[in-house]
């Protein structure tokens, strides 16, 4: 099993027999179309490219329209490649659904996190706040960002303010709670990165 492209639909809860509540994220994982099969001799590596979602032909560049036509498919919203060892049986134009995951216990889900804009160190990195009273003027300031003449520079990777979110993130080892093959729905325990209707990539956990 390689992986799937899906759409995050939102969250709800399920109950176990013993009464415990399990928070779940519902992902529409499929149908995905195999839009290209890459092999060692032609491409230098082995991979399967999947497409998911719908896109109007008038919004699809002509080269991409030709690419989808080769797979016998309508234009698709997202295309993503999954690396795979040689010797698999995936064929161009094949349609994959959530049934690919029937034997998978845990998955990794990759998505683009919600954008928070330009944020300070407190929200972005969990820095502590300065004192708020007694004439303090560094309530949410970053404080000292380094040492002295030595090293005479700010160390790379110093946690400061900047863009937060809107960045690819992977959540690993999410338990598969249920699979609905009819509607291509995948229920995983807990949250996944990104907003509702965001595109996520699902891979079986190692």
Binding site for another protein (CB under 8 A): 9-15, 17-19, 21, 26, 28, 183, 185
Q: For residue 164, which of 206, 105, 122 has the smallest C-alpha distance?
A: 122
Nearer to another protein among residue 2 and residue 98 (C-beta): 98
* Residue 115: DSSP 8-state: P
The least CB distance from residue 98 to another protein, in Å, is: 13
CB of 17 to another protein, least distance (A): 7
Cβ neighbours for 172, distance < 8 A, ≥ 6 positions apart? 108, 205
Cβ of residue 81: shortest distance to another protein, in angstroms?
27
Q: Which residues pair with 191 in a beta bridge?
A: none
Residue closer to another protein (CB basis): 122 or 185 = 185
Closest by CA position to 40, among listed 82, 84, 79, 70: 84
Distances (CA, A) of 53 to 91, 99, 192, 206: 19, 17, 19, 27
Contacts of 48 (CB under 8 A, 6+ apart): 2, 34, 36, 37, 38, 81, 82, 84, 88, 90
**Shortest Cβ 186–another protein spacing (Å):** 12
Instruction: Pick between residue 7 and residue 67 the one whose CB is nearest to another protein.
Output: 7
- Residues for the chain: how many in total? 206
Identify which of residues 18 and 85 has a Cβ nearer to another protein in the complex: 18
| 13 versus 206: smaller Cβ distance to another protein | 13
| CB of residue 79 to another protein, shortest distance in Å | 24
């Amino acid at each position: 099993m390689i992986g799937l492209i899906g759409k995050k639909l939102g969250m709800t809860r399920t109950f176990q027999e013993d009464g415990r509540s399990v928070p779940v994220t519902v992902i529409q994982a499929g149908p995905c179309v195999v839009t290209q099969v890459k092999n060692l001799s032609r491409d230098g590596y082995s991979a399967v490219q999947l497409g998911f979602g719908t896109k109007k032909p008038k919004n699809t560049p002509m080269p991409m329209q030709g690419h989808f036509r080769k797979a016998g498919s309508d234009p698709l919203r997202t295309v993503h490649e999954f690396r795979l060892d040689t010797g698999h049986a995936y064929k161009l134009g094949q349609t994959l659904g959530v049934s690919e995951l029937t034997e998978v216990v845990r998955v990794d889900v990759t998505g683009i996190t919600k954008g928070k804009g330009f944020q300070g160190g407190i929200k972005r990195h969990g820095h502590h706040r300065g004192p708020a009273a007694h004439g303090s003027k560094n309530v949410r300031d970053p404080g000292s960002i380094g040492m002295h003449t030595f090293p005479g520079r700010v160390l790379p990777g110093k946690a400061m303010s900047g863009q937060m979110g809107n960045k690819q993130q992977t959540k690993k080892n999410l338990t598969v709670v249920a699979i609905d093959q009819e509607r291509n729905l995948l229920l995983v325990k807990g949250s996944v990165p990104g907003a509702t209707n965001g595109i996520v990539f699902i891979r079986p956990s190692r």
